[in-house]
Structure 1
């Protein structure tokens, strides 16, 4: 994991994005409120089982919280889709051109 600071900032951000209070998050994770507060304030890092539970609760990969690879959250999904479609159309042959004329 990069640093406790990076983890706790991500944890707070995703909790707020999900409209949860700290108490809600602690209850969903089945941990004590103080344990959750310690995680979110950067006092401690989670055990592996808690990290997995956090990842599942907020629908994020463990790698997202550990900083191992960038998240695609900041990308515009429609922009990526348009780019992929553009690349596909560019490479795909026109089927009508490949058909023998009868």
Structure 2
């Protein structure tokens, strides 16, 4: 579990982004400092209730902490681009056509 998407790497990153110390995070999670350290150093994984509290505390989804990322592999990129382009063109009027000559 030593990948950049590993739970402990994500936990440390999001804690630092929120300007919290490890002690601050432990207090907010209502767990012992050592328990928090074990989580952040990758020695243990969180209990479900701790994971849910982490998600609320840092405004991240549970999926974020599990390392799940949405994949676009199954999408046809050009088809998706064309659809987005059509949606954009419908919303934005053509100024050249709107100005009387």
Contact residue 11 and residue 40 of structure 1 kept, 8 A: yes
Query: Which residue does the alignment assign to 1:52?
Result: 52
Query: Residues 14-35 of structure 1: CA distance to partner in whole angstroms, max 9, x if unpaired?
Result: 0000000000000000000000
Equivalenced residue count is 79
Contact residue 39 and residue 45 of structure 1 kept, 8 A: yes
- Hey, which of these two has a bigger chunk of helix by percent? 1
Gaps of 5+ in 1: 71-83, 98-102
Aligned residue for 1:91, secondary structure, equals helix
TM-score, normalisation: structure 2: 0.68
User: Cα–Cα, structure 1 residues 47 and 4, in superposed 2: closer, same or farther, change >3 Å?
Assistant: farther
Alpha-carbon RMSD across the aligned residues, in angstroms, is 2.3
Query: Residues 4-63 of structure 1: CA distance to partner in whole angstroms, max 9, x if unpaired?
Result: 761000000000000000000000000000000000000000000000001110000000
TM-score, normalisation: structure 1: 0.68
Gaps of 5+ in 2: 71-83
List structure 1 segments (4+ residues) > 3 angstroms apart after TM superposition: 86-89
